[in-house]
């Protein structure tokens, strides 16, 4: 007698190909170049669901498409789907164990879960396989900082700056916080001032400099930084409207005129129809 679970396994095996065929059929017929164009367009509009759908279709057809796997892993990480991101980076490392971007991506996932030693190892491999990889040095510095290795973190941050990491302010800020933690007031102040030179509107640096000036008795300088900070705060309160808010306000502004146009169109259209009907011969 055939057991019921044997029947279920057989049914499952027969349905799997049908589901796979249906999933493939739901994918749009696009070339690879068209697919990546559509992915970029979806990302620009923050339509990540659409971008992932396109990537899933492409990877289903080409499971070893490195660019598609990189892009999907990055998108999964960006929308905080860390387990899926890690799977994509693992797949990439199975294809090429020396892929620096995949090591960097897997390291970022490890940082999220505070697996700092594993993260450091992945970032270390990333810069080993790509010695000018600025992001890899920056992230290895972050992992070293979390592990309490201040000197190593500062060295990696310096190397990230040397290779042109952007945003530069992020590196300088991390370095400034390390100098503050170690009690190097001169280095801390110099880095905050460098941040302002890089980004003159970076409010947190003004706040920190104001506090530092006040603590060291340089009240005139403290007043200058706090006044600039207050200016930025007032500007934030009167920020320009978002594109959506602007569109809504424009619609509301012109809505009375639109209603008048619609009413007049209806009246004119009705008059034309009535005139046409009068000219029709009566049967």
Q: Which helix (H) or strand (E) holds 26?
A: none
**How many helices (H) and strands (E) would you count in the chain?**
14, 0
What is the reported pLDDT for 261?
63
| Contacts made by residues 162-169, CB under 8 angstroms, sequence distance 24+ | 163/132, 163/133, 163/134, 163/137, 164/134, 165/134, 165/135, 165/137, 165/138, 168/198, 169/195, 169/198, 169/199, 169/202
Q: How far apart (Å, rounded) are the C-alpha atoms in residues 160 and 142?
A: 11
- Cβ burial of 108 (10 Å; 0-12, 13-18, 19+) is buried
Taking a C-beta distance cutoff of 8 angstroms, is the pair 48, 79 a contact?
yes
Q: How far apart (Å, rounded) are the C-alpha atoms in residues 266 and 181?
A: 73
Domain annotation for the chain: domains and CATH numbers? 32-97 (1.25.40.10), 167-235 (1.25.40.10)
CB count in 10 Å sphere of residue 178 = 20
Q: Which helix (H) or strand (E) holds 24?
A: helix 4-25
What is the reported pLDDT for 28?
82
What is the reported pLDDT for 238?
41
Q: How far apart (Å, rounded) are the C-alpha atoms in residues 151 and 161?
A: 16
pTM for the model: 0.74
- Cβ burial of 283 (10 Å; 0-12, 13-18, 19+) is exposed
Per-residue b or e along 110-143, where b marks 16 or more CB atoms closer than 10 Å to that residue's CB: bbeeeebebbbbbbbbbbebbeebbbbbbbbbbb
DSSP helix, strand, coil percent of the chain (3-state; round to 5): 80, 0, 20
What is the reported pLDDT for 168?
97
Distance from the first to the final alpha carbon of the chain: 81
CA nearest neighbour of 102 among 131, 71, 78: 71
Per-residue b or e along 163-176, where b marks 16 or more CB atoms closer than 10 Å to that residue's CB: eebeeebebbbbbb
Would you write out the chain's pLDDT as a tens digit for each of its 283 residues?
445 545 544 544 554 444 444 444 468 888 999 999 999 999 999 999 999 999 999 999 999 999 999 999 999 999 999 999 999 999 999 999 999 999 999 999 999 999 999 999 999 999 999 999 999 999 999 999 999 999 999 999 999 999 999 999 999 999 999 999 999 999 999 999 999 999 999 999 999 999 999 999 999 999 999 999 999 877 765 444 444 444 444 555 555 666 666 777 667 766 665 665 666 655 4
Taking a C-beta distance cutoff of 8 angstroms, is the pair 93, 103 a contact?
yes
Which CA distances in Å does 241 have to 47, 202, 245, 252, 283?
A: 22, 21, 6, 15, 62
CA nearest neighbour of 40 among 89, 81, 84, 75: 75
């Amino acid at each position: 007698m055939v057991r019921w679970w044997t029947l279920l396994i057989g049914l499952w095996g027969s349905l799997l190909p049908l589901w796979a065929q249906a999933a493939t059929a739901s994918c749009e017929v696009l070339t690879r170049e068209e697919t990546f164009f559509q992915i970029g367009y979806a990302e620009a509009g923050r339509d990540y669901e659409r971008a992932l759908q396109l990537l899933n279709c492409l990877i289903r057809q080409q499971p070893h498409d490195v660019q598609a796997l990189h892009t999907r892993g990055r998108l999964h990480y960006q929308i905080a789907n860390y387990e899926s991101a890690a799977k994509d980076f693992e797949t990439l490392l199975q294809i090429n164990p020396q892929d620096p971007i995949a090591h960097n991506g897997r390291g970022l996932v490890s940082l999220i879960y505070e697996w700092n030693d594993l993260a450091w190892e992945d970032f270390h491999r990333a810069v080993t396989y790509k010695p000018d990889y600025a992001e890899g040095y920056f992230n290895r510095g972050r992992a070293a900082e979390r592990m309490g290795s201040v000197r190593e973190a500062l060295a990696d941050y310096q190397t990230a700056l040397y290779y042109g990491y952007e945003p530069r302010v992020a590196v300088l800020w991390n370095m400034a916080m390390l100098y503050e933690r170690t009690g190097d007031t001169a280095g801390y102040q110099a880095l905050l001032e460098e941040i302002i030179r890089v980004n003159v509107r970076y409010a947190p640096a003004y706040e920190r400099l104001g506090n530092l000036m006040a603590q060291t008795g340089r009240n005139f300088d403290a007043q200058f930084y706090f006044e600039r900070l207050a200016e930025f705060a007032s500007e934030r309160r009167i920020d320009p409207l978002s594109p959506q808010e602007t569109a809504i306000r424009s619609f509301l502004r012109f809505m009375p005129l639109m209603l008048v146009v619609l009413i007049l169109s209806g009246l004119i259209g009705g008059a034309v129809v009535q005139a046409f009907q009068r000219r029709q011969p009566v049967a």
